A and B are shown apart, each in its own frame.
Chain A
Amino acid sequence: MIRDPYVEGRAAGWQIVDAPSLEADHTLEADVVIVGSGAGGGTAAEILARSGLRVIMVEEGALKSTRDFKMREAEAYPDLYQESASRKTRDKGINILQGRCVGGSTTVNWTSSFRTPPATLEYWQRNFGLQDLDAEALAPWFAMMERRLNILPWEIKPNENNQVLQRGAAKLGIAVGQISRNVTGCWNLGYCGMGCPTGAKQSMLVSTIPAALAAGAVLLTRARAERLAIFGDQVTALECVAIVANGSPPGPRRITIRAKHYVLAAGAIGSPALLLRSGAPDPHRRLGRRTFLHPSVISAAVMPQEVHGYAGAPQSVYCDHYLERDALDGPLGFKLESPPLHPVLFATTLQGFGSAHARLMREFTHSQALIALVRDGFHPRSQGGTVRLRDDGSPMLDYPLTDVVWEAARRAWLAMAEIQFAAGAKWVAPVHEQSAGYSSWAEARAAIAALALKPQLARVVSAHVMGGCGMSDQPKYGVTNSYGKHHQLANLSVCDGSLFPTSIGANPQLSIYGLAARNVSRLAEVLNGRPAVAIA
């Protein structure tokens, strides 16, 4: 029997309000209002609510839960993702996968969990004055969230898509590791990206948000946080507007929320955008700057054996060999992982059209793919992108792909092709419009060296948006301090991936959980005058 916490919760009187269903405009009050219900907002909600504070969560997306998840891309992308999973950077050079639903990206991510790499934290200490964020100080917070979300190494045999990475790397004498996942009683189905249909994935949707609701928090769904009212150094209200669906214009219901403290956890595009729309003070022009993506390039292979890349835990093996080879601020390193392969995601990602594309798709069950997540934000010529507003107030990320990112992309295609051929691939192609695929490593090596490095020729994707409200101990270099407290606004904190002053260099969910738990526990203590509860 599969449990859906919202079925029982609604019966128990959880306060869930769907904004478009309101018959009049409303004004609500709370101790803390949290914008966004993903990794940062969900963690914040449980800690604050269980510490006795009156919490309102505001979520732009709809509430879809365990029993709604049908493992179909046709429903999942429009229902659960920003811009129906086709959000793009300004020049369309990068496709961004980002959640837009209760639970945010945690509802649709592939469960990969890594603590923030110590090298990244050391870089933040040296360059952003974040002395208090060292691996030792953060360890208890990561440990607490690992307990809370059952984050453990995946002990079950990796699926074939991941085993290819394992085998190829072993042939080349390259180390791989076992990914930790936030699951409890996982069925090993492989559909994490469409919402977990069994409730096994310990996303915010089934863990912290239910705990917050049980502690009396209010969840407002399909409500877009439009603007903060600001007076001096104080936020005085949050103005929200009801929205029916992805793509539909907002309105007509408006909800005004007054709170003692405002927590922004709308993600690294949404949080800076809300501050920009609100005309928040930004004396050093830091807001929305240094937004990072782990720009990712892809290599597809056809294996002699069946792979069934859609089945089994999507990501269970990783390779950090190419992250650790060069200096952190030298040539850009990349992390290798295997992405799950589902028909729409695979077909839209693959190059070519017509018969050529159809031929590649006929190899679907034998197809294998690797992705290289490029670590951006450390090299002087990798300063990330900038969140701006369109005329209608919606956010747009301008992320120029610079020469150092492209140089890493080429190294990554080479590394991935070498691994895939070493694992026995019959055919390998970087996902690039100029590549028709290669049948040997020697052929691939020569051809990849000649590929043009241009957006929309090479497919570049991202599932990790970070930065834009970066932390620094000095207002000159960041939007917030290491606790996420806004440097210019006294009663506003940022609590999501937008805090990161560089990219993480690993899938970011656990970095967000740990930092959010630390920062919000401090906030609860300040607001309550007594220590926050430990949620695990």
Chain B
Amino acid sequence: MVTRRQFLKAGVIGGAALAMLGAWQLARQRTTASNSLDARHLILSAIVPAMLAGVLPEDATARRGAVVHTIARVDQTIAGLSPAVQTEVAELFALLNTGVTRVLLAGVWADWQVADAASIAAFLERWRSSSWLLMRSAYGALHDLILGAWYSEPTAWAAIGYPGPPEIAR
């Protein structure tokens, strides 16, 4: 017999899948619109501080600057992906930008501008250990894009003791 709890769970997942399909459709229409880039920047402004907790500068101004710079590096990385993968990335951000899927799939209730750090960290943690491959791979994309952007910069190297590449006389 199906319990109420199982039924509710199936309902939520079913609803999430439908919402996701809708967002996917929306994403396909949106991918070239300039507002999608703004949306991506807004979402990353919320996610980057959670992904980089423990390495960003303490000082608020320096911290904001570091986040903005990291987002610019993420943009560069995305531009170097194949057109097909760029479309997938655009779909991911469209999904996060749509209220209903943000709540249902990411579990972030507040808009990205006002979402608190704990709820964003909780969302990343849920996706990281999700039983859905799609969520785990979306987390993986955010992980690689943001941490790759951060550690590609010489400013990140002192904290980990990396001296940078050696000088060679040419």
Chain B binding surface, main DSSP class: helix
For chain B residues 80-106, which have a beta carbon within 8 Å of chain A? 80-86
Q: Which of A178-186, A342-350, A469-477 contacts B (4 or more CB under 8 A)?
A: A342-350
Among A198, A344, A390, point to the contact of B151 (Cβ < 8 A).
A344
Among A246, A344, A354, point to the contact of B51 (Cβ < 8 A).
A354
- Whether B80 and A245, one on each chain, are in contact in the complex, defined by CB atoms closer than 8 angstroms, is yes
Known A92-B140, A347-B151, A456-B136; contact A246-B81, beta-carbon cutoff 8 A:
yes
- Whether A392 and B147, one on each chain, are in contact in the complex, defined by CB atoms closer than 8 angstroms, is no
Among B73, B133, B166, B168, point to the contact of A456 (Cβ < 8 A).
B133
- Whether B51 and A362, one on each chain, are in contact in the complex, defined by CB atoms closer than 8 angstroms, is no
Chain A hits for B116, CB < 8 A: none
Shortest distance in angstroms between B18's beta carbon and chain A's nearest beta carbon? Answer: 22
- Whether A365 and B137, one on each chain, are in contact in the complex, defined by CB atoms closer than 8 angstroms, is no
Known A348-B144, A365-B162; contact A355-B54, beta-carbon cutoff 8 A:
yes
Chain B hits for A396, CB < 8 A: 84
Chain B hits for A88, CB < 8 A: 85
Shortest distance in angstroms between B10's beta carbon and chain A's nearest beta carbon? Answer: 22
Among B50, B121, B133, B162, point to the contact of A454 (Cβ < 8 A).
B133
Chain B hits for A78, CB < 8 A: 76-77, 80
Shortest distance in angstroms between B37's beta carbon and chain A's nearest beta carbon? Answer: 15
Q: How far is the CA of A278 from the CA of B79 in the complex (A)?
A: 28
A533 within 8 A of B: no
For chain A residues 422-436, which have a beta carbon within 8 Å of chain B? 433-434
Chain A hits for B141, CB < 8 A: 92
Known A247-B82, A353-B50, A358-B54; contact A344-B133, beta-carbon cutoff 8 A:
no
B8 within 8 A of A: no
Q: How far is the CA of A394 from the CA of B82 in the complex (A)?
A: 9
B27 within 8 A of A: no
Shortest distance in angstroms between B70's beta carbon and chain A's nearest beta carbon? Answer: 12
Chain A hits for B80, CB < 8 A: 77-78, 83-84, 245-247
- Whether B151 and A358, one on each chain, are in contact in the complex, defined by CB atoms closer than 8 angstroms, is no
Shortest distance in angstroms between A157's beta carbon and chain B's nearest beta carbon? Answer: 18
- Whether B133 and A353, one on each chain, are in contact in the complex, defined by CB atoms closer than 8 angstroms, is no
Shortest distance in angstroms between B164's beta carbon and chain A's nearest beta carbon? Answer: 8
User: Which partner residue on chain A sits nearest B136 by CB separation?
Assistant: A456
Chain A hits for B50, CB < 8 A: 353-354
User: Which partner residue on chain A sits nearest B50 by CB separation?
Assistant: A354
Please, how many residues of chain A have a CB less than 8 angstroms from a CB on the other chain?
53
B159 within 8 A of A: yes
For chain A residues 442-464, which have a beta carbon within 8 Å of chain B? 454-457
Shortest distance in angstroms between B40's beta carbon and chain A's nearest beta carbon? Answer: 16
Q: How far is the CA of A156 from the CA of B144 in the complex (A)?
A: 35
Among B51, B84, B85, point to the contact of A353 (Cβ < 8 A).
B51
Please, how many residues of chain B have a CB less than 8 angstroms from a CB on the other chain?
45
Chain A hits for B159, CB < 8 A: 361-362
- Whether A354 and B82, one on each chain, are in contact in the complex, defined by CB atoms closer than 8 angstroms, is no
A197 within 8 A of B: yes
- Whether A347 and B150, one on each chain, are in contact in the complex, defined by CB atoms closer than 8 angstroms, is yes
- Whether A455 and B83, one on each chain, are in contact in the complex, defined by CB atoms closer than 8 angstroms, is no
Known A433-B128, A457-B136; contact A354-B147, beta-carbon cutoff 8 A:
no
Q: How far is the CA of A365 from the CA of B159 in the complex (A)?
A: 11
- Whether B82 and A83, one on each chain, are in contact in the complex, defined by CB atoms closer than 8 angstroms, is yes
- Whether A365 and B140, one on each chain, are in contact in the complex, defined by CB atoms closer than 8 angstroms, is no
B26 within 8 A of A: no
Question: Chain B 25-62 against A: per-residue CB contact (8 Å), 1 yes, 0 no?
Answer: 00000000000000000000000001111110000000
User: Which partner residue on chain A sits nearest B88 by CB separation?
Assistant: A92
B160 within 8 A of A: yes
A413 within 8 A of B: no
Name the 10 nearest CB pairs between A and B, nearest first. Answer: A358-B54, A71-B165, A456-B136, A354-B53, A355-B54, A92-B137, A364-B160, A74-B152, A84-B80, A78-B80
Partner-A contacts on B (CB < 8 A): 50-55, 73, 76-77, 79-86, 121, 124, 128-129, 133, 136-137, 139-141, 143-144, 147-148, 150-153, 156-157, 159-162, 165-166, 168, 170
- A-B contacts, 13 of them at CB < 8 A, read A73-B151, A88-B85, A91-B137, A92-B133, A191-B165, A246-B80, A247-B81, A247-B83, A344-B152, A348-B143, A353-B51, A362-B161, A365-B161
Kindly list 19 other residue pairs between chains A and B, CB separation below 8 angstroms, not including A246-B82, A456-B139: A71-B166, A78-B76, A84-B81, A91-B133, A92-B137, A245-B80, A247-B82, A343-B151, A343-B156, A343-B157, A346-B151, A348-B144, A358-B54, A361-B159, A392-B83, A392-B84, A394-B84, A396-B84, A433-B136
